Structure 1
Amino acid sequence: MITAGIDVGAKNVKIVLFEDGEVVARGTGLMEMDREQSIQIAYQATLKDNDIQEQAVERVVATGAGAKSVVFATDRSTLVTCISRGVRAANPSIRTIIDIGANDAMAIKCDETGKVVDFAVNEKCAAGAGSFVEAMARAMEVSLEEFVAFSLASTKSIPINAQCVIFAESEVVSLIHEDTDRNDICRAVHDAMAGRIASMARRVRIEPPVAVTGGASYNQGMLDSLTKELDIALTRTDNAEYVAAHGAALLAAEGRGSA
């Protein structure tokens, strides 16, 4: 039986196809103004690229902020449930999960059986998510890859105090005008983001081992800052951006959803 998990985020839609206990396909696509069309395009492309007929997919579980836009879904499940299910399938020892997406971040606490016992989400402002770093990179007129490299080269910690993306951008511009070393500015942005994520994560009483998921977890500058802030080892999961979709596909295979 082939099942599908579809995670509809603010920036991307992620798709995982599952068969006989194995992932057989992954796909992704940008979210445009028309959500339903964006999902259909990404889904059909994933099927085509992996030579899978749509009628062969028996169940589809959708998750994420735009889950309701997956009009062909068999069922839906919460992001917390899907992320924890996806992570624990890969590593059952994980007790705490920190997920960092484009616009949101969350921390999930699991017990020894894998059951979610607590979770916390960041505030509405995106200053604790991946889009915050992207906005700061644009303000500095560098690519995200360059921004991360500059941050990792920094040898000095300086504060950014603004609690809002808009105000933080103004603060970064001021630092640029003051001829502050760009390496230190980039590190300051990551440190500020890490501080907000850590504050949110501590609300669930972090217990190791800790896994980090979500597309923003590939930002090594942010990951280094978060590791220093929490003073604990962090493990980035394989295919970190697909974890929620993977969990949704597993739930579909088990005939579950609506959790």
Structure 2
Amino acid sequence: MYTMGIDVGSASSKAVILRDGREVVAALAVQAGTGSSGPGRVLEAIAAESGLTTKDMSFILATGYGRTALPMADKQMSEITCHAKGVFFEEPAARTIIDIGGQDVKAIALDDRGGIRQFYMNDKCAAGTGRFLEVMSRVLEVPLEEMGQYHFRSKTPAQVSSTCTVFAESEVISLLSRGTAKEDIIAGVHFSVAAKACALAQRVGVRREVVLCGGAAKNGGVADAIEKELGEPLVVARNPQLTGALGAALLAYEEMKRKERSA
């Protein structure tokens, strides 16, 4: 039995195919999100990788901002539920999840069985999100994938205190004009992201293991800043950008089994 999870976010589209609810057959991401060609491109790419199409799926579950715009999906679920499911599948010791996506930041508290105890989201402002990092990358003229390398070269992280992306951009430009080293500004940006993410985590109650997921988790500087800010060991999810799609594929399998039992 094959099931598919599709996670269409603001900045990227992800898909995972599972066999019998356990084995990952294919998993990938396309850096284009809702309202773009991303959903179509990720379906084409995963079909090319796996040799399987949506017609081969027993059940397809969609999540993310663009979940309602996927006519091939049998069901939609919130990304909170899907991220919790995906993280717990890969990290059964997870009790606190920090998810930094393109447009929001989430903190999720799990019980010992992977159920959601509580969650908080910051989705009213781009500060602390992947979009915030993209803006800073552009201003600093440092590619996103290189920001982590700069972070670890910093000796004195700069203070980036603004809680608004627009004001933080002005703050970074001012730091550049004063000759502040880019590595120190980037470290300051990462600690600014960490402060916002950790404030949400503290609201749900931090319990080990703390797992970081979302596209920003691929940036080692962000992970390092969060670990230092929390004062707790941090686990980066094995495929941090794909946890939502993985959770959706797992939930698709559960839905299919439920349908079989009731038939």
Query: What's the TM-score once normalised by structure 2's chain length?
Result: 0.92
Q: Against the structure 1 CA distance between its residues 53 and 171, is the aligned structure 2 distance closer, same or farther, given a 3 Å change threshold? A: closer
Contact 1:27 1:43 in 2 (8 A): no
* Structure 1 unaligned regions, length at least 5: none
Residue of structure 1 in register with 2:98 after alignment? 98
Greater CA deviation, 244-253 or 52-61? 52-61
**Deviation at residue 142 of structure 1 after TM alignment:** 1.9
**Deviation at residue 254 of structure 1 after TM alignment:** 1.0
**Deviation at residue 33 of structure 1 after TM alignment:** 7.2
Contact 1:95 1:111 in 2 (8 A): yes
Contact 1:191 1:225 in 2 (8 A): yes
Residue of structure 2 in register with 1:8 after alignment? 8
Which 4+ runs in 1 deviate beyond 4 A?
32-35
Q: Against the structure 1 CA distance between its residues 68 and 151, is the aligned structure 2 distance closer, same or farther, given a 3 Å change threshold? A: same
Residue of structure 1 in register with 2:180 after alignment? 180
Residue of structure 1 in register with 2:260 after alignment? none
Residue of structure 2 in register with 1:23 after alignment? 24
Residue of structure 1 in register with 2:44 after alignment? 44
Structure 2 CA distance for aligned equivalents of residues 29 and 163 of structure 1: 29
Q: Does 1:117 align with 2:107?
A: no
Residue of structure 2 in register with 1:89 after alignment? 89
Structure 1 CA distance for aligned equivalents of residues 14 and 102 of structure 2: 13
Structure 1 CA distance for aligned equivalents of residues 252 and 13 of structure 2: 17
Structure 2 CA distance for aligned equivalents of residues 242 and 179 of structure 1: 38
Structure 1 CA distance for aligned equivalents of residues 146 and 157 of structure 2: 18
Q: Against the structure 1 CA distance between its residues 175 and 158, is the aligned structure 2 distance closer, same or farther, given a 3 Å change threshold? A: same
Greater CA deviation, 46-55 or 18-27? 46-55
What are the residue-to-residue correspondences of 1:127-206 with 2, within 5 Å? 127-206=127-206
Q: Against the structure 1 CA distance between its residues 174 and 65, is the aligned structure 2 distance closer, same or farther, given a 3 Å change threshold? A: same
Structure 1 CA distance for aligned equivalents of residues 172 and 87 of structure 2: 35
Contact 2:54 2:72 in 1 (8 A): no
Q: Against the structure 1 CA distance between its residues 34 and 109, is the aligned structure 2 distance closer, same or farther, given a 3 Å change threshold? A: closer
**Deviation at residue 49 of structure 1 after TM alignment:** 2.3
Structure 2 CA distance for aligned equivalents of residues 177 and 167 of structure 1: 15
**Deviation at residue 51 of structure 1 after TM alignment:** 1.0
- 1:82 is matched by which residue type in structure 2? C
Q: Against the structure 1 CA distance between its residues 34 and 145, is the aligned structure 2 distance closer, same or farther, given a 3 Å change threshold? A: closer
Contact 2:97 2:212 in 1 (8 A): yes
Contact 1:28 1:42 in 2 (8 A): yes
Find the residue that maps to 1:203 and give its secondary structure.
helix
- 1:187 is matched by which residue type in structure 2? A
Contact 2:8 2:33 in 1 (8 A): no
Aligned residues: CA RMSD: 1.7
**Deviation at residue 70 of structure 1 after TM alignment:** 1.1
Contact 1:16 1:246 in 2 (8 A): yes
Counting aligned pairs with the same residue, the percent is 36
Spell out, residue by residue over 1:100-147, the C-alpha distance to the aligned partner (whole angstroms, 9 max, x if none). 111211010011121101001124111111221221121112222333
Greater CA deviation, 141-150 or 121-130? 141-150
Query: What's the TM-score once normalised by structure 1's chain length?
Result: 0.94
Spell out, residue by residue over 1:67-91, the C-alpha distance to the aligned partner (whole angstroms, 9 max, x if none). 1011110001111111111111112
Structure 2 CA distance for aligned equivalents of residues 155 and 208 of structure 1: 29
Q: Does 1:253 align with 2:253?
A: yes
Structure 2 CA distance for aligned equivalents of residues 3 and 116 of structure 1: 23
Contact 1:61 1:249 in 2 (8 A): yes
Q: Against the structure 1 CA distance between its residues 34 and 157, is the aligned structure 2 distance closer, same or farther, given a 3 Å change threshold? A: closer
Contact 2:29 2:241 in 1 (8 A): no
Contact 2:9 2:33 in 1 (8 A): no
Structure 2 CA distance for aligned equivalents of residues 38 and 149 of structure 1: 28
Find the residue that maps to 2:255 and give its secondary structure.
coil
**Deviation at residue 219 of structure 1 after TM alignment:** 0.6
Q: Against the structure 1 CA distance between its residues 151 and 104, is the aligned structure 2 distance closer, same or farther, given a 3 Å change threshold? A: same
Structure 2 CA distance for aligned equivalents of residues 44 and 143 of structure 1: 27
- 1:57 is matched by which residue type in structure 2? M
Contact 1:61 1:75 in 2 (8 A): yes
